[in-house]
Structure formats: structure tokens, C-alpha cells
């Protein structure tokens, strides 16, 4: 039967029992030890700055009231306003949002953009609500957050199960709460908006585009021919689907794909544009006729050159890492690999390009959108893409060179790049009072 809801499966429940924030702490500690990070700065960065939990009522279509729980965790703002996505999912909880918020701090620092880190979400299954209910849930959440977000303070964006429409409702609600003469000074309160409502061209594909820029550079550095490469992808939403259509331009062959409804294989290659069209019409990859259904473990064990996780966290674990049969994991998702799996992949010589570098295209182009709104400008796609390319490849080179200098893996190197930047700012500014 076609699973239509996002009800937690047993596997998801099991992975959820592990604290995601513990993963962040382990990753952070490894880098902090290696670079000998000062004890005081460690103490500050090991904790989140603010954790906002809001319970708010929403009227359903049938007149009933439901109470929802929403979160916004602000990890750190030493480098600039808090920045990070909003997720609508039944497994959202404070631990997950804490971890995602911390990753945003490192991501902005690595990309060298003037943002801190935050993340938020609502714990519910959006597939069970009508479009009108989703609008009221979003608006009421925005109202409940009130001044905890703001264009120069904390700037949300889309993430899992949220999109430009959700951002447009948030924007409209936020602006409606402002005095009339201040409204258009606040367009940059959210990014990932529809173009007509102040969004940036190129933001919808930015995360996927960034992942592909990084894979291109990695291929160049390793004399690896993308034209004859095969890859598998987990997650075929905003990020995953765009990665596949961009990889097609290189001639790389997509041979297996998985989403929440199951996995598919076609060793001759799956046409990404055809699958995107199918998902547009059917809501998921389920039933796609030009590939055969396979189970989760067969998907993970598929022999290919590259694996692009673009779904949820904790997918590559001590149990699943030994199954992988490939050369490169390019982490489009946040937190897909846990620390035990990192050790196994390292030992098996499977290269991992970490999430906080690999998927930073989204926050980079969000920064461009924020800048355009502040300056009342709108840039052309070529300008957005070329600025994204420059920023993300600079970040890639910093991480690569740090990995060589410290003789460490790229995740630890990426943390070191971020922590060095934060250390400078804390040393320069000191601690108030
Ligand atoms: P999305 O909601 O558009 O798509 C999520 C996809 O993952 C869907 O295809 C869904 O079916 C699939 N999925 C969900 N649970 C799954 C499971 N257990 N097994 C297999 N597939 C599953 O979300 P998105 O915006 O594409 O985000 C995907 C990942 O990328 C997330 O980790 C997100 O945090 C990260 N990310 C997104 C952005 C962005 O700009 N949207 C930026 C940076 C990182």
C-alpha cells in the first residue's frame, strides 16, 4: 500500500532514540581537541543561546481547535543574525532542532557569510492537513514567534516539508504585525520566498546547485570522470530532485533512488527529468514505471561511485555504513552520517564531504536574497550562480587544505575552519560585561 503520511516508522523511531545533539557534541569535541580550542570558547559554543518553545491553537476546517508545538533554537550569533530553516515533521523535537541549529552556525562560518545559526520547526505531519489549515498553522506559528524572529535578528528559510509558499505566509504575517510605514523595510525577515514576493532567482535550486559544484570540484581534484560516474540518491524533494537534474548535465547516471515511500533501481539509468515529472503528478516516486522497487538494504548496498543522502539524519550508522559500496558520500542532507559511521567510512576509504560544507549552497543564496532585499536589488541568475560558485568553492578549498594541514577527515577539518573564525571574533570582541 502507498504510505501517504509521514507517521514515524519503527526504523525512524529507533534512529530517533539516539540524540542528534550528541552527534554534534562528538564532532565538535574532536575538532576542538585537535585545534586546541580555548576552554572558554568551547563552553560558549557547546550550548545554544536561546531555545524558544511555543504551544499555539489553530482552528481546523471543521471548526475544532488543535494545539501545536513549535520550536526555534538560536545556537549562536557571534558572526551575525541567527539564520536557519523551519521543518514541518512528526519527529521534530528540541534535540533535533538544537543539532540543526548548531550545524547552521558552523555552516555560515565555513561559507564566510555574516550569519549565526538557528533552526525551527513544528512537530506535526503536514500531509494530514488541508492547504487552508497549513496556512493557518504557519501564520499562527509566526505570530507565536513574534519578535523572536526579525530581518536583522533571526531569519527563517525553508527546510523539510516547507517551501516558498510557507515563507510567503510567514512574510505576510510578520509584515502585518509591523507598523504600516515599516513593512517594506522587513522583506528580508525570511528567505526562500517566491520571486514575486522578494525571493531571489536561483534560491530554489541553490542547495542542489551547491552540492553539484562541490562534487565537480572533488572530481577535478581526484581525476574522476563525472561523465562515466554512477550515483544513488536518498530523498527526492527540493534538494534531491534538483541535484539529479544538475548531475544529468555531466552525464552521470542515476541508478537508484529512495524517498519516504520506498526505493527504486534501474542499472541502465533513471531519467531525472522524467522522474521529477512523475513526482509532480503522483506526489512521490512510488509506482514509477521505469525502475524496479527494491528494499532499503538493497538500495544502500547498490554499487555506485557516489551516494548523495538528501533526506533525513542518522541514515548512515554503524549498522548501515558497512553496506555501502561506493567511493564518495556527498552529504546534501543535514546529519545523515553519525559519528560511529564516520569511523567506519574512514576506515573503508569512502570519502565523505560533510553536510556543513556540502549543502551550504542554500544558506549562501539565502544570504544573497537577504542582501538583495536590503538593497532593493534583484540580481540575474548568472550573477547568483557565479557568486555561489565562488563562495562555495572557496569554502571547499579552505576545508580541503585544513584537512591536509591537520591530517584529518573533512568533517573535522570543516569544524576547524568554522571554529577558527568564531575564535577570532570571540577574542577580538571579548565577553560582555
Ligand atoms: P523535502 O521535504 O523537499 O524532501 C525530503 C525528501 O526526503 C522527500 O523526497 C522525502 O520523501 C524523503 N524522505 C523523508 N524521509 C525519508 C526516509 N526516512 N527515507 C528516505 N527518504 C525520505 O526536503 P529538502 O528541503 O529537500 O531537504 C532534504 C535535506 O536537505 C534535509 O536534511 C534538509 O535539512 C537538508 N537541507 C535542505 C536545504 C534547503 O534549502 N531546502 C538546505 C540545506 C540542507
List, for residues 152-183, the tens digit of each pLDDT value.
Answer: 999 999 999 999 999 999 999 999 999 999 88
- On average, the pLDDT of the chain sits at 95
Which residue out of 160, 211, 317 has the highest number of ligand 1 atoms within 8 Å of its CB and is therefore the one to mutate? 160
The alpha carbon of residue 390 and the mean position of all alpha carbons in its chain are separated, in whole angstroms, by: 20
Domains of the chain: 48-194 (3.40.50.10860), 200-433 (3.40.50.720)
Q: What is the pLDDT of residue 184?
A: 86
Distance CA 119, CA 195 (A): 23
Question: By C-alpha distance, which of 230, 329, 240 is closest to 285?
Answer: 240
Distance CA 387, CA 393 (A): 10
* pLDDT tens sequence across 377-429: 999 999 999 999 999 999 999 999 999 999 999 999 999 999 999 999 999 99
Instruction: Catalogue the active-site residues.
Output: 119
Q: Closest residue (by CA) to atom 19 of ligand 1?
A: 260
Distance 59 CA to ligand 1 centre (A): 28
Pocket of ligand 1 (CB under 6 A): 12, 158-161, 207, 234-240, 258-260, 310-312, 332-334, 359, 362
pLDDT at 16 over 70: no
Contacts of 65 (CB under 8 A, 6+ apart): 57, 58, 59
Q: What is the pLDDT of residue 207?
A: 98
Task: Give the sheet arrangement for strand 351-353, strand by strand.
Answer: 292-294, 262-265, 253-259, 230-234, 306-309, 328-330, 351-353
Give me the DSSP letters along 344-390. Answer: HHHHTT-EEE-HHHHTTHHHHHHHHHHHHHHHT----HHHHHHHHHH
Residue 48, all three cell numbers: 545554544
The average pLDDT across 58-77 equals 98
Q: Which atom from ligand 1 is nearest to the alpha carbon of 259? A: 21
Q: What is the pLDDT of residue 70?
A: 98
Q: What is the pLDDT of residue 291?
A: 98
Q: Closest residue (by CA) to atom 29 of ligand 1?
A: 333
CA angle 332, 333, 337 (to 5 degrees): 105
Distance CA 398, CA 403 (A): 9
pTM of the model: 0.96
Distance 312 CA to ligand 1 centre (A): 6
Q: Closest residue (by CA) to atom 40 of ligand 1?
A: 362
Task: Supply φ then ψ for residue 114, to 5 degrees.
Answer: -85, 60
Distance 71 CA to ligand 1 centre (A): 19
Distance 19 CA to ligand 1 centre (A): 19
pLDDT at 10 over 80: no
Amino acid at each position: 500500500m502507498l504510505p501517504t503520511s509521514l507517521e514515524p516508522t519503527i526504523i525512524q523511531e529507533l534512529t530517533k532514540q539516539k540524540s542528534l545533539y550528541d552527534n554534534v557534541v562528538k564532532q565538535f569535541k574532536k575538532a576542538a581537541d585537535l585545534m586546541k580550542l580555548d576552554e572558554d570558547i568551547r563552553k560558549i559554543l557547546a550550548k545554544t543561546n536561546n531555545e524558544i518553545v511555543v504551544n499555539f491553537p489553530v482552528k481546523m476546517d471543521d471548526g475544532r481547535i488543535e494545539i501545536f508545538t513549535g520550536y526555534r533554537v538560536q545556537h549562536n550569533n557571534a558572526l551575525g543574525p541567527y539564520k536557519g530553516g523551519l521543518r514541518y515533521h512528526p519527529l521534530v523535537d528540541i534535540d533535533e532542532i538544537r543539532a540543526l541549529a548548531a550545524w547552521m552556525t558552523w555552516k555560515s562560518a565555513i561559507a564566510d557569510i555574516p550569519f549565526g545559526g538557528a533552526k525551527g520547526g513544528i512537530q506535526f505531519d503536514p500531509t494530514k492537513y488541508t492547504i487552508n489549515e497549513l496556512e493557518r498553522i504557519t501564520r499562527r506559528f509566526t505570530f507565536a514567534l513574534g519578535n523572536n524572529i526579525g530581518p536583522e535578528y533571526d531569519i527563517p528559510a525553508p527546510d523539510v516539508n516547507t517551501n516558498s509558499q510557507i515563507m510567503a505566509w510567514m512574510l505576510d504575517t510578520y509584515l502585518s504585525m509591523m507598523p504600516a510605514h515599516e513593512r517594506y523595510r522587513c522583506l528580508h525577515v525570511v528567505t526562500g520566498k517566491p520571486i514575486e514576493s522578494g525571493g531571489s532567482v536561483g534560491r530554489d535550486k541553490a542547495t542542489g546547485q551547491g552540492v553539484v559544484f562541490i562534487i565537480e570540484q572533488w572530481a577535478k581534484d581526484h581525476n574522476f570522470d563525472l561523465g562515466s560516474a554512477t550515483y544513488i540518491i536518498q530523498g527526492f524533494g527540493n534538494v534531491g530532485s534538483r541535484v539529479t537534474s544538475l548531475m544529468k548535465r555531466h552525464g552521470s547516471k542515476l541508478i537508484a533512488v529512495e524517498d519516504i515511500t520506498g526505493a527504486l533501481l534501474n542499472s541502465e539509468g533513471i531519467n531525472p527529468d522524467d522522474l521529477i515529472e512523475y513526482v509532480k503528478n503522483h506526489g512521490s516516486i512510488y509506482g514509477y514505471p521505469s525502475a524496479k522497487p527494491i528494499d532499503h538494504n538493497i538500495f544502500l548496498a547498490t554499487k555506485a561511485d557516489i551516494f548523495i543522502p538528501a533526506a533525513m539524519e542518522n541514515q548512515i550508522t554503524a549498522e548501515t555504513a558497512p553496506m555501502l559500496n561506493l567511493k564518495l558520500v556527498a552529504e546534501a542532507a543535514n546529519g545523515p552520517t553519525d559519528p560511529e559511521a564516520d569511523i567506519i567510512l574512514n576506515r573503508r576509504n569512502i570519502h565523505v564531504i560533510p553536510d556543513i560544507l556540502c549543502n551550504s549552497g542554500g544558506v549562501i543564496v539565502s544570504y544573497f536574497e537577504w542582501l538583495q532585499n536590503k538593497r532593493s536589488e534583484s540580481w540575474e541568475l548568472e550573477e547568483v550562480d557565479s557568486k555561489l560558485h565562488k563562495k562555495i568553492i572557496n569554502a571547499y578549498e579552505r576545508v580541503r587544505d585544513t584537512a591536509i594541514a591537520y591530517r584529518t577527515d573533512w568533517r573535522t577539518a570543516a569544524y576547524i575552519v568554522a571554529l577558527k573564525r568564531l575564535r577570532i571574533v570571540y577574542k577580538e570582541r571579548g565577553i560582555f560585561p
